[in-house]
Chains A and B, each alone.
Chain A
Amino acid sequence: DARVTQTPRHKVTEMGQEVTMRCQPILGHNTVFWYRQTMMQGLELLAYFRNRAPLDDSGMPKDRFSAEMPDATLATLKIQPSEPRDSAVYFCASGLVPDGGLQETQYFGPGTRLLVL
C-alpha cells in the first residue's frame, strides 16, 4: 500500500533553532507539495515541485524557509531560524501529472506537528 511518509512526526524546538522536515513521496509520482495547516489560516500551499524542479514557492517566507528535492525520493523543508509563529502541522503531498495531462489526485502524508517555543 503506497503512501507518503514524513519525518519527524512531532518536533518541539526552541526559537532560533533550525528545523528540517523530510518527505518521501509515493514512488512514481512526479509532483510534490508542501502545505502548512494552522487554526487561523487553514491549509496553505508553501511550495510545489514537478520532476524535482521548484515551480512555485510564493507561499513560503523566503527569508527563513527553504524547500529542496535532492532526489526523486526525498523532499525537504527547512526553517532557519525558527520562530513561534511557525508552529503548525506541515503536510507533504505527492501526485502524478501524466505527460500532456492534468494533475491527478494528491496524496497526503501524516504531517509533521511542529511546536516552536
Chain B
Amino acid sequence: GIQVEQSPPDLILQEGANSTLRCNFSDSVNNLQWFHQNPWGQLINLFYIPSGTKQNGRLSATTVATERYSLLYISSSQTTDSGVYFCALTDSWGKLQFGAGTQVVVTP
C-alpha cells in the first residue's frame, strides 16, 4: 500500500514562531488531506490539496504531486495550534492512508 511519512515527529514552538511540516508519500495519489487533531481528540479537516497551494488564515499547504510530497506551513503560531497534524492520502478506492503525524506543542 501507499507509504506516508511525516516529519518531524515532534515539534515545540514558541508562540509567534513559524514552522513547516512535511509529508512524503510513496506512490502517485488521487488526493491528499491535512488534518489537525486537537488536544480533545477531534479531527478537523485543514486542507484538501491534491496539488498546488492553498491558504487558510495562518495556515497554508503546498502539494507537489510529481515529487510526492506536501508541506504544511504554520505562521505566527498560537497555543491553539497545538495538537497532532496528520497527512492522509486517498487511494483509488477512496480509502485514507494516514501518516504517523507530527505532534506540535506551542508554548506561550
Residues of A within 8 A of B (CB): 31, 33, 35, 42-43, 45, 48, 50, 55-56, 89, 91, 93, 95, 97, 102-108, 110-111, 113
Contact = CB atoms under 8 A, between A and B. Distances in A.
A43 B98 CA distance: 7
A33 B41 contact: no
Contacts of A43: 86, 88, 96, 98
B9 to A, nearest CB: 12
Given A33-B96, A110-B42, 7 more contacts: A35-B96, A43-B96, A48-B95, A91-B43, A105-B33, A110-B41, A111-B41
Contacts of B28: none
A109 to B, nearest CB: 9
B43 A104 contact: no
Given A48-B93, A56-B93, A97-B94, A103 B31 contact: yes
Contacts of B98: 42-43
The majority secondary structure among interface residues of chain B is strand
Interface residues of B, number: 21
Contacts of B33: 105-106
Max count, chain A CB within 10 A of own CB: residue among B31, B42, B86, B94: B94
Interface of B: 30-31, 33, 35, 41-45, 48, 86, 88, 90, 93-98, 100-101
The majority secondary structure among interface residues of chain A is strand
A50 B95 CA distance: 11
A26 B83 CA distance: 25
A106 B93 contact: no
Contacts of A111: 41-43
Contacts of A48: 93-95
Nearest to B31: A102
Nearest to B43: A108
